[in-house]
Chain A
Amino acid sequence: EAGVTQFPSHSVIEKGQTVTLRCDPISGHDNLYWYRRVMGKEIKFLLHFVKESKQDESGMPNNRFLAERTGGTYSTLKVQPAELEDSGVYFCASSQDGLLNSPLHFGNGTRLTVT
């Protein structure tokens, strides 16, 4: 079974540019989550999809961030325009059911550097 895949693995962009991160969850997993870790700090929740619907987007920092999950399969997270404080590692994770009933599988993350 293929795991959660994220790409790119690294992205370096200039302030003001746009970046789109992609996540392919494990096939059949309805729940998809985005988390972010800013350097040296805790991993923070961004949002949660159930199929194609946003279940909880309370962690999205501001309206420069847009997440989509068309068709309930892969998801994209777009940052436009990027700011310096957006640098960090963006993790995607998926689970079949809720977090108590099934394990959460993480991707390897996308390291975003905004210069």
Chain B
Amino acid sequence: AQSVTQLGSHVSVSEGALVLLRCNYSSSVPPYLFWYVQYPNQGLQLLLKYTSAATLVKGINGFEAEFKKSETSFHLTKPSAHMSDAAEYFCAALPYNTDKLIFGTGTRLQVFP
């Protein structure tokens, strides 16, 4: 069965530092992949999605993610962290022919001044 693994439940970076949040999927057939962000007391918002077009996907707020089939990964990056990036981030997969997202356990990002 499809699963999504997010390494690191908590990640801390300094303001201005690189953000790297890891996500791996388990599937012989690459699914569609998404990153969502949840700010405190809010619902999840879509950051970006991969749908088998370009392997490097750009999202909102300066985030991007690269799909690497050989590594079954879809890591999220941002060159320079901002205090407002502090939130919980979820990687999710959508297997073909379903409308059911499979989420990872989430990574909470803390940004220190």
Contact = CB atoms under 8 A, between A and B. Distances in A.
Give the contact-size bracket for chain B. Answer: 20 to 34
B71 interface: no
Nearest to A9: B41
B43 A99 contact: no
A100 B90 contact: no
A48 interface: yes
Interface string B79-113: 00000000000101010001111111110000000
B55 interface: no
Interface of B: 4, 9, 32, 36, 41-46, 51, 90, 92, 94, 98-106
Given A40-B105, A41-B105, A98-B99, 13 more contacts: A33-B99, A40-B9, A42-B102, A42-B105, A43-B101, A45-B101, A55-B99, A56-B98, A93-B44, A99-B32, A104-B101, A107-B43, A109-B43
Interface of A: 3-4, 31, 33, 35, 40-45, 48, 55-56, 58-59, 91, 93, 98-100, 103-109
